[in-house]
Amino acid sequence: MRFGLIGFGAWGKQHAQAIAGLPGLELAAIACSSEDSALAAAAAYPAARVTRDWREVLADPGIATIDVATPNHLHAEVAIAALHAGKDVLLEKPLATTLADCDALLAAERATGRLVSVGHELRQSAQWGRIKEMIDGGAIGDPLFLNINLFRNFYRSGAAGWRYDRARVGSWLLEEAVHYFDLALWYCARHGDPVSLRAVGNQRAGRDAGMYDNVSVLLRYAGGAYVTFNQCVAGFEHHLVVEIAGADGAIRTHWSGTMDRDHSAAYELRVQAKGFPFERGVRECELVAIAKSGEVYELTEQIRLAAAAFAERRALVPAAEARKRVLICLEAERSLLENREIDSALSEGRDRQSRRALTLPWVPPGGARPQPASAPRQRSRTSRIPIVRIPASAAQRIGAPDPNSRYSSVRKCARGGTMCSMSPGALQWMPKKVAPGGSVSIISRYFVSTSTPAMKGVIRNRSNTGSPAASSRATMGA
């Protein structure tokens, strides 16, 4: 399989070395951004065609696969052009820096019939991939708690300083945290998608707005499982810890090196599996042997497996999955900006096939009804209040909300009037004992609807976007 490589920076050179060293693959062409990198590419790979124009690589009919290792802001543009040129694409993470670009890329993939596989190479790791095998094999039962902690030195600047330019990098969440959100969603896949998240962070003086040196993110799942992620890029060396507590066991692993590409890093994987003969202070876990671990080894394995997957007409890491990771990064940025927990669009029906209802447990009259972590406090009006959802396709955003309102978006119904929701996804409804077609009230941050069948309708005659303290009336349409 003949590869064309777009990008020959520090990481692009690692891609080139991996492609050239794998049997059955040929590095046929390299596109470079500068004269110096072009000279270096020609010297290192004399058999490859070297150019300063990446479009020339796409025009080569003998190249089957394009490997994109450019700065983040170019990912969508280059990948979409490659798809329309009839090439399969191995694309470095993130998929893109905006959801609009992600969706354009997915549309191009569907329109051309070609494939995109995204570079979440930690999945191919003998260390991080082994954890997924253990979880799926039932070694620790359902994962209930996942903690990921990254403490590292500052980033390399990249060509022309692109990693420190928000317009080109997107954010430092998209630059690196996206890898660990991928692991989190991958490990916790049995729980569905997160329903909410909360992020906090800060930055050193002189950073661009939104470029956080330190950030912590909490992801909540409907069933009660949760993920904590901490990233510090103002530290030293490169230290990564992952800890998972399951219903029947636990896993702890770490990777520590002088930098992220340290070939002599220290790492280990410890597991307390279901049925382990536990003795406190004597024998509490098992040390699991793992092969070499590190992003350079994982990159080589990723390219090998991605090429094999393309030959079988499938993507190793589908672009649709990578889009979810980008969305989590963008939602974390929004949570930081708005300084609050937000509902995730992943749970609102736009990004997943099935829309499972969240149901608050029934409590006898007079009893205190516990609130799930993902839901706001509700007035005690019914004994059972299931949350169902209406697809966001029924509405379109029409502008900013009343500044005195807690609602984060205002939408316009397909059949007139306006309605509000807490996040830019599907609208959330809470059935109440009111005849279908009757009036509804806004309580806290949800609309209270008449009954589950009423979700087929839309709100009409919405009177205002005032604060939740002032109950507003609306009419349900069948």
Residue 26, pLDDT score = 98
Residues 276-316: pLDDT tens digits? 999 999 999 999 999 899 999 999 999 999 999 999 999 99
Which of 67-76, 333-342, 367-376 comes out lowest in average pLDDT? Answer: 367-376
| CB-based contact 410:431 (threshold 8 Å) | no
> Got the DSSP string for 447-458?
EEES-GGGGGS-
Task: Give the percent of the chain with pLDDT over 70.
Answer: 73
Confidence of residue 340 (pLDDT cuts 50, 70, 90): very high
Q: CB count, 10 Å around CB of 410?
A: 19
DSSP letter for each residue of 292-357: --SHHHHHHHHHHHHHHHHHTT--SSBHHHHHHHHHHHHHHHHHHHHTS-EE-GGGTTSS-S--PP
Contact indicator for 414, 394 with CB cutoff of 8 Å: yes
Pairing of strands 286-288, 266-272: antiparallel
**Predicted local confidence at residue 348, as pLDDT:** 60
| Domain spans, the chain | 2-119+299-315, 123-293+325-346, 349-476
Query: What does the pLDDT look like over 180-207, one tens digit per residue?
Result: 999 999 999 999 999 999 999 999 999 9
pLDDT of residue 407: 31
The answer to whether residue 246 scores a pLDDT higher than 50 is: yes
pLDDT of residue 278: 94
Average pLDDT over residues 211-222: 97
pLDDT for res 159: 86
Q: Work out the pLDDT band at 105, boundaries 50, 70, 90.
A: very high
- The reported pTM is 0.74
Which residue from 50, 62, 60 is spatially nearest to 8, judged by alpha carbons?
A: 50
Three-state DSSP state, 149: strand
Q: Is the peptide bond before 318 cis (omega within 30 degrees of 0)?
A: no
Reported as a pLDDT band with limits 50, 70 and 90, residue 397 is very low
Which CATH entry fits the domain spanning 2-119+299-315: 1.10.10.60, 3.40.50.300, 3.40.1790.10, 3.40.50.720? 3.40.50.720
b vs e for 326-356, b when ≥16 Cβ sit within 10 Å of the residue's Cβ? bbbbbbbbbbbeeeebbbbbbbbbbeeeeee
pLDDT in tens, 368-378: 433 434 444 44
Helix (H, G, I), strand (E, B) or coil at 67: strand
Most confident range (mean pLDDT) of 8-22, 360-374, 414-428 is 8-22
pLDDT tens digits, residue range 399-442? Answer: 333 333 333 333 333 333 333 333 333 333 333 333 344 433 33
- Give CATH for domain 123-293+325-346: 3.30.360.10
pLDDT(460) > 90: no
Q: Residue 163 and residue 288: Cα distance in Å, rounded?
A: 36
Going through 80-163 in order, the beta strands assigned E by DSSP cover: 88-92, 116-119, 143-152
Please state whether beta strands 65-68 and 2-6 pair in parallel, antiparallel, or not at all (unpaired): parallel
pLDDT value at 52 more than 70: yes
By CB atoms closer than 10 A (0-12, 13-18, 19+), residue 131 is buried
What is the DSSP-derived secondary structure letter of residue 177?
Answer: I
Please determine whether the domains at 2-119+299-315 and 123-293+325-346 fall in the same fold group of CATH: no
Tell whether the model's pLDDT for residue 219 goes beyond 80: yes
Mean pLDDT, the chain, rounded, equals 79
